[in-house]
A and B are shown apart, each in its own frame.
Chain A
């Protein structure tokens, strides 16, 4: 069989088989990594269901944003620096154009600044002021946004930025800055369970939904299928070489068979 396998025809197909094996294995690995990414998205969705944590335990000022921080529910207690409030525009909420109201919160425990998206306004010229005194903010954590140009004209007395870009904010606001921001879900007066500070004429921005998973097993199945087809290609090659080898063997045996069949006659003639 080895001699058959070394025929140019089978060697050529062997080269093709190796190409198929390598490419299908890589395609399978690619699908496996897709399946893992989907698994990561599932993990993020799970994080959103975790209990509320104090922001100082999740984030450090200027520290890296944790890989599983997106969507994490956090609580931060401190005071708003209302004078340094900014708008981020253009933003849309339920089909309306407007801006996000972003207010720096000086976190009492660390003294660092945490940007808080307090809400959404459609009228950029009348932005409600931030509550004064100590507040306890609860919301969903998010990493900073990519830079974007600020809109040209706003007609607003509040500064308008194009994105919630932390590298811009760190230069705008004094002191240490957290590498992330919070979509406020609830603001309460005081550090404890105080009265809710209702955002007058300020609509909450719902935290962006984390990409839903559920495609994981499909991609894992695709990965498996690539490998099964690779194995099948190898089997095809083996089977064809074996059939060829068997056929050759038969052809070699047949002339001997004929000679054996012919032998008695020859003997008869000689007798």
Chain B
């Protein structure tokens, strides 16, 4: 038997998380690209437009982590750890793969049990 209480809601939360992990990973790349093109921090221009949008995408990523984490019983440390991946390039993609593998195998366990 699985430790996941609501497999349907968990699967939806996982799908939301996967989308947001990829989006926040891409948004971070765009932000870095803009900063490099502008030649440094605080130069304004396109980053002035993109920074708040990136912030919004990141916040939604954080929401998706909490939404999933509470359903599958993650510890606070684990949730915060995954939230922090949003600050490092490439790491959200890695987190997406790892979390997907963990939750999918646990969900499969719930179907068998």
Whether the pair B48, A243 counts as a contact (CB closer than 8 A) is no
Given contacts A13-B76, A239-B66, A239-B70, whether A229 and B59 have CB atoms under 8 Å apart is: yes
User: Cβ of B27: which chain A residues have Cβ within 8 Å of it?
Assistant: none
Contacts of B56 in A (CB 8 A): 225
CA distance A243 to B51 in the complex (A): 35
Indicate whether A222 reaches chain B with its CB closer than 8 angstroms.
yes
In angstroms, Cα B51 to Cα A240, docked, is 31
Q: Give the A-B pair count, Cβ closer than 8 A.
A: 37
Q: State whether A218 and B48 are in contact (beta carbons under 8 Å apart), knowing that A13-B76, A239-B70 are contacts in the complex.
A: yes
Q: Do the beta carbons of A222 and B52 come within 8 Å of each other?
A: yes
- A interface secondary structure, majority: helix
Query: Which partner residue on chain A sits nearest B76 by CB separation?
Result: A240
Shortest distance from the beta carbon of A220 to any chain B beta carbon, whole Å:
9
Chain B residues touching A, range: 10 to 19
Instruction: Give the contact-size bracket for chain A.
Output: 10 to 19
The answer to whether A228 touches B59, judged by C-beta atoms less than 8 angstroms apart, is yes
Chain A residues in the interface with B (C-beta under 8 A):
13, 212, 214-215, 217-218, 221-222, 225, 228-229, 232, 235-236, 239-240, 243
Interface residues of B (CB under 8 A from A): 44, 48-49, 51-52, 55-56, 59, 62-63, 66, 70, 76, 79
Q: 3 tightest A-B contacts by CB?
A: A221-B52, A218-B48, A225-B55
19 chain-A/chain-B pairs, Cβ below 8 angstroms: A214-B44, A215-B44, A215-B48, A217-B52, A218-B52, A221-B55, A222-B51, A222-B52, A225-B52, A225-B55, A225-B59, A229-B59, A229-B62, A232-B59, A232-B63, A235-B66, A236-B79, A239-B70, A240-B76
